Amino acid sequence: MDGLWKIGSIKDILGRHGFTFSKSLGQNFLVNPAVCPRMADSCGVDAQSGVIEVGPGLGVLTCELARRARKVVAIELDERLLPVLDETLDEFGNVRVINGDVLKLDLRQIIADEFGGMDVCLCANLPYYITSQVIMRLLEERLPLRSITVMVQKEAAQRLCAPMGSRDCGAVTAAVHYYSEPEILFKVSKGSFMPAPKVDSAVIQLHVRQQTPDLGCDERQFFKVVRAAFAGRRKTAINSVSMSLGIEKERVAAAFAAAGIAPTSRAEQLQLQQYAALTAALYGGK
């Protein structure tokens, strides 16, 4: 549908369908005409490949994806938007809308059933209340996605894409770097949305690694140690790991020494390989 992003068209559609925004579903719809084409271009989808969208809303980004992709699968939780999407996506024969919760649906099965072997990427303006959960689910399940291009709040973008060892790092940053190569593509001001959120946003892209780095230790234990280190942000990593995992401080300090990590280090200062060495020192290598 042409001109869908225009405030007038959006208000008209919302009015005709009696739609009201749900804050709890993170419904901030894009009304800046420059953003969706830019997102759709940068996600890398083309006439041979498929794309999954989470939360199509009124379908502004969906239309742009449908113009470029062989197939689009859009997952929307709010069933009130289904008749709206029927209208706005009417002209496209390559879009399938699935009514469901992205955190609960079997995404691997959907990819197999809907895309049958095509290259697939994900592109979405994510509902902010589940940003990290969605990203972690997509990565941890090792879904066959080439890349993940998503709009998130600016602070989340900075955390997710922070270089390891920098101040903005969190446990989620370590996971993102393990499974992918992240980058911030561009900033989007809060005025680009209706209703306008309190903070600006950014579009980030995660290039999913086909092969994750060899840690030399058990992956689950590795993430347990990373989460433990970040649990006490104001503490040294030794204290935080010791308290969170319930291991005596002397044993943790010995593991830090064995891994060659300075005892005064804080969680955000460590690299993935240092966490791996620490995990191996605490629990044994592979």
**Of the candidate residues 50, 55, 170, 182, the single one contacting ligand SAM (CB under 6 A):** 55
d(CA 145, CA 122): 7
Q: How far is the CB of 23 from ligand SAM (least distance, A)?
A: 11
First-to-last C-alpha distance (Å) of the chain: 55
Q: Smallest Cα–Cα separation from 146: which of 176, 123, 173, 169?
A: 123
Question: What 3-state class would DSSP assign to 171?
Answer: helix
Instruction: Report the residue number, 29 or 223, with the smaller CB distance to ligand SAM.
Output: 29
Closer residue to ligand SAM in complex, CB, 106/250: 106
What are the CA-CA distances from residue 192 to residues 29, 30, 80, 116, 140 (Å)? 8, 6, 23, 35, 31
Contacts 24+ apart (CB under 8 A), 11-18: 13/58, 13/84, 13/87, 13/88, 14/58, 14/84, 17/80, 17/83, 17/84
Annotate each residue in 12-31 with x if it binds ligand SAM (CB under 6 A) or - if it does not, as one string. Answer: -------------xxxxxx-
Given the complex with ligand SAM, which of 106 and 181 has the nearer CB atom? Answer: 106
Q: How far apart are CA 32 and CA 243, in angstroms?
A: 47
Q: Minimal CB distance to ligand SAM: which residue? A: 55
**Binding of residue 60 to ligand SAM (CB under 6 A):** yes
Q: How far is the CB of 180 from ligand SAM (least distance, A)?
A: 21
- 190 versus 224: smaller Cβ distance to ligand SAM: 190
Torsions phi, psi of 204, nearest 5? -115, 160
Least CB distance from residue 31 to ligand SAM, whole Å?
8
Binding annotation for S-adenosyl-L-methionine: 28, 30, 55, 76, 101, 125
What is the rounded CA–CA span in Å between residue 201 and residue 127? Answer: 12
Q: Which residue, among 179, 171, 107, has the nearest Cα to 139 in the 3D structure?
A: 179
Identity of the residue, 33 or 163, whose beta carbon is nearer to ligand SAM in the bound complex: 33
Residue 101 as a binder of ligand SAM (CB under 6 A): the answer is yes
β-pairing verdict for 120-125 and 147-153: parallel
Q: With binding defined as CB under 6 A, does residue 97 bind ligand SAM?
A: no
Q: How far is the CB of 56 from ligand SAM (least distance, A)?
A: 5
Tell me: does residue 205 bind ligand SAM (CB under 6 A): no
Q: Which residues contribute to the site for ligand SAM (CB under 6 A)?
A: 25-30, 54-57, 60-61, 75-78, 81, 101-103, 125, 127, 130
